Amino acid sequence: MTAHALEKIRSEALNLSESERADLAHSLVASLDGASDHGVEKAWDAEIRRRLAEIDSGTAQLIDREEFRRRMQERMSRS
């Protein structure tokens, strides 16, 4: 694809409504993903259920947003 053709597509996309652009962006990002791995999806579903059960039972140690942000900034500064 030429740079001119790409710029034309970009220009036309930017003239779409917000919801149309969001739908297009979602489709484009999804097209970058490989084939879905059902085993991975099942593993994540199980992990999510496990974490929710810990929250519901009160055994999870939750942190607030500021603490999360502090920890993430600390991790990123070590990278």
What are the residue boundaries of the structural domains of the chain, listed by start? 3-32, 38-78
Burial bucket for residue 62 (CB in 10 Å: 0-12, 13-18, 19+): exposed
Residue 14 makes CB contacts below 8 A (sequence gap 6+) with 21
**pLDDT of 79 higher than 80:** no
Q: What predicted TM-score, i.e. pTM, was given to this entire model? A: 0.48
pLDDT (0 to 100) of residue 37? 85
User: pLDDT band at 9, cuts 50/70/90?
Assistant: very high
AA identity, residue 59: T
Q: Check if the beta carbon of residue 22 is closer than 8 Å to that of residue 13.
A: no
Residues 21 and 13: beta-carbon distance below 8 Å: yes
- Residue 56: the pLDDT is 97
Mean pLDDT for the chain overall = 94
Q: At residue 34, does pLDDT exceed 90?
A: no
